[in-house]
Amino acid sequence: MHCDPRFSRVQEVFERHFADGEELGAAFAVYLDGELVVDLWGGVADRHTGRAWREDTSAYAYSCTKAITATVLLRLVERGLVDVDAPVAEVWPEFAAQGKEAITVGQLLTHEAGLPALEEPVPVSEFEDHPAIADRLARQRPLWEPGTAHGYHALTYGFLVGEVVRRVTGKSVGELVAAEIAGPLGLDMCLGASDAVIARAARLSSGERRSASPAGAVPGPRPAKAGGGTDGGTDGGTDGGTPGGAGAALSGLTEARGDVFTRMARAARDPESLMNRALGNPRMQALDGGANNPVILRAGWPAAGLVTTAKGLAGFYRSLIAGDVLRPETLRDAVRPRVEGPDRVLYVDSSFGLGYMRPSMTFFVPSATAFGHTGFGGFLGLGDEERGLAVGYVMNKMADAVSGSLRAFRLTEAVYQAL
């Protein structure tokens, strides 16, 4: 492990999380101006076997994936192969069905397409068949007029953007990540884990409910086992570490917490709500162990399939802000907020550029200049070009706050305080 003395407070916070019982196993990495200044790991990677968390322990980082997928598509934009302002149907003709002919590629990236949930249950046999799932979405009608509102496309985001990538290149997002990003840059990350990666990956475990969250963090669900979905801005976990639908754990919220929380609580209790439908199909819980099942780890879902170490995730953002993955002007345009305000799926305010989260109640970070993406349970990938910062945080004890784990916030807050 390594921690630059300037960031000793970060190590103190990291160790306190273990001492307070908030962590089982975790890793946190920080690059400053390209230099690795924090590289911490510790704890247990698998609570069933007692296997220790090591330097190369990776974790299934849920929706941290979305920023990687957006980056793959933006690289195609730079090559002139994709136009974010053009209709999706230009490269995917079948998508024009049911009044979707005018939906643009950019609207997929900004969660404005009105396709946040799959209408039909996805069978386990299709979990690794991305084109088949994308075909289901092509046959659907939008739930709202595209471009008039945004709502978190928790899982469908990846199948939509991923199909555009496949139609243009003939390759999956995971194949392009391996060939053009992770491989050349030496990053320990993948979408579609090999048996060797699966063997050393951490096993996700359920967290513990807390009765309240500090100001600014939205108290949230401990998902029910019925769902099996994922959410980049929502923390939670069930036995086996697999998030379900939003569940009934928001039942303690009252009218006194405000109308938005009341509506969120009602949606969380309703298995047919848009929130639960978006988070729970494809249904991970159909598999033994949920997100820990090799089928999920191999599937490489482009919205929630990233298996990475903290250093690998931070290294991605280091390379991104250094101009090694996208041109600086492309990145600056991509992180510019395109949509912000009430989210039709999550209810709280969210903010997105072209696939990247910006500071909001669903990307709870201590800097207005940061961008990146959270992952269900508390994972965080963050870049800050203005500060020269890149951060990666992975763990295996799932948290339960809608706006993102306070562990990640405390760690990144300590990083910013050290600057």
Lowest pLDDT segment from 7-11, 259-263, 342-346, 399-403: 399-403
Question: What's the structural domain count of the chain?
Answer: 1
Laid out side by side, the sheet with 306-308 consists of 59-60, 306-308, 189-191
Q: What is the CATH number of the domain that holds 70?
A: 3.40.710.10
The answer to whether 293 and 240 have CB atoms below 8 angstroms apart is no
Judge whether 74 lies within some domain: yes
Write the pLDDT tens digit of every residue in 180-207. Answer: 999 999 999 999 999 999 999 999 998 6
Write the pLDDT tens digit of every residue in 136-190. Answer: 999 999 999 999 999 999 999 999 999 999 999 999 999 999 999 999 999 999 9
**pLDDT of 286 strictly over 60:** yes
Lowest pLDDT segment from 32-41, 92-101, 188-197, 260-269: 260-269
Judge whether 114 lies within some domain: yes
Task: Place 253 in a pLDDT band, splitting at 50, 70 and 90.
Answer: very low
> In the Cβ-directed half-sphere of 215, how many Cα atoms lie within 13 Å?
0
> What's the whole-model pTM score?
0.89
pLDDT at 207: 63
Judge whether 278 lies within some domain: no
User: For residue 312, how many other CB atoms are within 10 A of its CB?
Assistant: 25
pLDDT at 313: 98
Nearest alpha-carbon partner for 399 in 96, 44, 26: 26
* DSSP class of 343: -
Largest Cα–Cα distance in the chain?
Answer: 58
Judge whether 119 lies within some domain: yes
Judge whether 275 lies within some domain: no
pLDDT at 65: 98
**pLDDT of 33 strictly over 60:** yes
Judge whether 372 lies within some domain: no
What domain range is 340 assigned to? 1-206+294-366+392-400
Alpha-helical regions (H) of 140-288: 156-169, 173-176, 183-185, 195-200, 259-269, 274-279
CA distance 113 to 166: 19
Judge whether 13 lies within some domain: yes
Transcribe 166-192 into DSSP letters.
HHHHSS-HHHHIIIIIIHHHT--EEES
**pLDDT of 400 strictly over 80:** no
**pLDDT of 244 strictly over 60:** no
Judge whether 274 lies within some domain: no
